Structures are given as C-alpha cells and as structure tokens.
Amino acid sequence: MRDLAELVDDRIPHVAAMCRELGEILDECYLQGAEPHPERWEPPSDVIGIVELGDWCVGKGYMDLALPVYRLAARWSLHPKIQTEVGYLFLQRAGVKSLPLCEHDIKEGGSDWDPECWIHDELKETSIFPDVKCTAELALQAFGSAWAFYYNGPYYPASALGGLLALDGMRAAADTLDDVELLSAVCTAFRDWLGDRLVNSGEEECLEPVEKELRIRFARAEGSLEPRRQVERAKLAPQLESEFGDSWELLPAEVRDRLVDAEYWRLTLGEPEVDRSPVVLEYCRALEAMMRVRIGKALDDFLDMAGKEGRELRCEALGKGRGFCDLTLSEFRRLRRPVVAESPLLREFWSRCGVEDAAPYVSALLTKLDPITRQYRNVAAHAGPVMGDAQVSRIRRIVVGPEGMLAEIARLKTWRSASPSDSPNESQADARG
C-alpha cells in the first residue's frame, strides 16, 4: 500500500496549476454583483474575503460558481496554518459533524501555536454546500498541503503541533470521503509522527492533552478500517464469481480470498505509474495455493496410498521429507516432466483426474507458468520487480477467468473414490520417510 506522502503527491496539484484560475474566478464573481472584490492584503484577510464570497454564492444559489471560489480559497495562501483553517471551514460547509481538532479547541501550547492565523471567528455560519464529496476533497487538499509543508521541510521542532492538526484534518476528510486506503495511510503517518516528530520536538509535555485526544480519535478511525475493507472486498466476490462461472465454487476458500485481495489492490493502487507488484503477488499466491491443494496435496495422498513405489517416486522427484503440497510455483515449473507425467503410476493419477493423455497436459500446464516464474523470480514469495498495468493484465489473463489456470485446475476430477490399482493400501502415517 502506498504511504501518505505518495497519496498527497497524487491528490494535490502543483502550486502553479493551483493558481491558474485566480483572476478568472474573481472576475466572474464581480460580474455577478459580489461586493467587495477581494484584494491582496494580509493572507488571513484574503482568505476570509474569498470564503465569504463562496458563501455568498451558495446563498444566491450559484452552486456552480461557489465551488471554484472555495477552491480558490485553498489556493490563495500557501501558509500551512491558514491551509488547516481553510480545511476546517470546508469540512464545516460539507456538514461534517465530527470536525477535526484545531487550535481554537486547545489552550496555548507548543512553539507552533499561532492565533494570528485563525479565521473561524471572522466568518458567519452559512448553508451547507450540497456536494459533500467535492467540499471534503477540497478540505483534504488544504490539510494535505499543510502536512506536506511540515513533512518535507526542516521546520522542527516548530512543526509538531501543526503536523498533528493537519493529520487529524486529513483523517476527518478521508473518513468523510470513505477512502479506506487514504485513511489507513493517515493513521500510519499519525503513529510515525508521534514516534518521530513529536518526540524529537521536545514538546511532549505541553502537547500531552492534544496527543491524548488525537490518540482516541485515531484509535476509532483504525477500528473502522477493517470492517470497511471487508465491505469493499465483499463487493468484489460477486464480480469474480460471475467471471469464473461454475468454476468459482470449485476454488478453495484460500484461493478465493487471494483473488479478492488481488482485485482489491488492483482497484485501489491509484495512478498507473504506481508499482502493481502487490497485485501480481496475490494472483500468484492464489495460483500457488491452488496447485498445492488440487494437484500437490492430491498427488501426495495418491502416492501415500500407492505404498513404497509411490514414496520412492516422490523421493526421486523432490528429495526425502518433501511433498508436492510444499512446492512453490517455480518448483512446480522445474519438475522433470517424466516424473510428474510419464511414470505408469502418475499416468493413473492423471487419468483419475480426468486427463487422458498426461504428458501433453502437464507440459502445457507447466509452460503456462513460464511468464510468471521465469520473468518474475519466486513472485509468490515476494513482490519482486516493479510492474505496470500491462504486466498485471498479462498475468491476470493466465490465472483468472473461465479459461485461466485456476479454473482449469479446479475442473480436474477427484481421484479419491478409489485407491491406486495394483498397489497395496498402506497407512499414510510415516508415509514420507
């Protein structure tokens, strides 16, 4: 999962782009009859005038104009303190009931405490802006800009309080947007901030009440994460079931869970340039689990029941003490085909699985692993090299869907209705000597 710094870089436009529309927006408001026209005074006064202008647009019903005016307020001043104030105001206008902590709520404390940047008391209550998502997104950009300022600059110890309040604002905005990935990243960044920035600031004692309150808020946020993730994943299972058709119910529970995780990551990793290796990792783990259970475990049980001949064949293929259910994808690929397809005993195994001609079937099966095991070494064990959408799509076509490897293996018939012919039935205990 991406960290908060990556997410902030994705969601907050460059400063030059943020300022591109300033003149056009102000001129349009002036033409609509708004007075007074904001002027460039001190930054707090500037922002107060622009937010008032946006509130005036809402009151007049000019919703299409109000949003760019509010956006202008977030772009006008890059002072991090004013950014957090603007973010708070946006959440108010989004109708958020559980607003973030701000300097208005705490007693003087820390070298970062600065009442001169407060603008809440200068603005009257106004109507709720109907597009909650857009307003919360603006709040997120404002809080994110403030946090990025503290995170990237050498402003210690003076950034301890400002960074904490910016993170709490991002928490409230992410919660309002129901963005699970962002909320998780914010919670992680909060823990890191407490363990690094706050400790190194030397202001732990004076900021103790703030820390205590924020720990409670973030604990609640983290408690809500897993149920939200489960809800998101639950939406993906029916889509995969539809894609697999009748083969879906034949997949073991672990394999289905891995596929849902892979689809979840595929949909939440964001911009195309973000490394997609976690997606491939889950697809390959799903395939590895499938091969271990439906081929490896079944083959081990079959050879156990075949007695001495079966144990010797397995030992020849894998070495003493190992089973086919232990193999990785790369190890499955490296198996000698005569060992897994051409011995009389194993031809019987494949026949009982519904495969009439074992050698070509196994050859084709193992060849399909080539794009995974040769290009991405041991990908089921770790994420490996950076991967893009094209590579993910290629591997997904090999693994997923009614014609993919998972469905193909799932459709193999069971052999367990009878023991191997011409072989004594022996206890499976101590079978892998």
In a domain, residue 310? The reply is yes
Each residue's pLDDT tens digit, 127-137: 788 888 888 99
pTM for the model stands at 0.54
Domain assignment present for 122? yes
| Same domain flag for 183 and 279 | no
**Are 212 and 260 in a shared domain?**
no
- Rg of the chain over Cα atoms, rounded to whole angstroms, equals 30
Q: How confident is the model at residue 170 (pLDDT cuts 50, 70, 90)?
A: very high
How many independent structural domains does the chain possess? 2
Domain presence at residue 17: yes
pLDDT (0 to 100) of residue 77:
73
Do 128 and 277 fall into the same domain? Answer: no
**Same structural domain, 313 and 377:** yes
Contacts 24+ apart (CB under 8 A), 65-73: 65/28, 65/29, 65/32, 66/129, 67/129, 67/131, 67/134, 67/135, 68/21, 68/25, 69/25, 69/29, 70/129, 70/135, 70/138, 71/21, 71/138, 72/21, 72/22, 72/25, 72/26, 73/47
Shared-domain flag, residues 205 and 265: no
Query: Amino acid identity, residue 407?
Result: A
- b/e string for 403-416 if b means 16 or more Cβ within 10 A? ebbbbbbbebeebe
At 417, the pLDDT band (50, 70, 90 cuts) reads: very low
- Domain of residue 312, residue span: 251-410
Domain boundary among 156, 191, 226: 226
Q: What pLDDT is stored for residue 188 in this prediction?
A: 87
Q: What angle do CA 40, 43, 46 make, to 5 degrees?
A: 50
Q: Confidence class of residue 13 from pLDDT cuts 50, 70 and 90?
A: low
Is residue 124 domain-shared with residue 187, that is, in the same domain? yes
| pLDDT for the residue 209 | 83
Asked if residue 427 is part of any domain, the answer here is no
Residues 309 and 207 in one domain: no
Q: Which of 79-93, 186-200, 371-385 has the lowest mean pLDDT?
A: 371-385
Mean pLDDT of 220-237: 76
Are 362 and 310 part of one and the same domain?
Answer: yes
CA angle 118/123/129 to nearest 5° reads: 115
420 falls within a domain? no
- My answer on whether 38 and 108 are in the same domain is yes
- Written as six digits, the tokens of 172 are 């409230």
Choice among 55-59, 281-285, 380-384 with the minimum mean pLDDT: 380-384
Among 35-39, 191-195, 227-231, 377-381, which stretch is predicted with the lowest mean pLDDT? 377-381
Residue 311 counted as domain residue:
yes
Residue 243 located in a structural domain: no
78 & 147 share domain: yes
* Closest of 10, 121, 22 to residue 76, by C-alpha: 22
pLDDT tens per residue, range 25-36: 656 765 677 765
For the chain, what is the mean pLDDT? Answer: 77
What's the pLDDT score for residue 109?
59
- Per-residue confidence at 19, pLDDT binned at 50, 70, 90? very low
Stretch 139-166: mean pLDDT? 78
Check residue 74 and give its pLDDT: 77
Residues with Cβ within 8 Å of 282's Cβ and at least 6 positions away in sequence, in order, are 258, 259, 261, 262, 265
Residue 426 lies in a domain: no
Residue 31 to residue 54: CA distance in whole angstroms: 14
Verify that 73 and 180 share a domain, yes or no: yes
Q: Do 213 and 260 reside in the same domain of the chain?
A: no
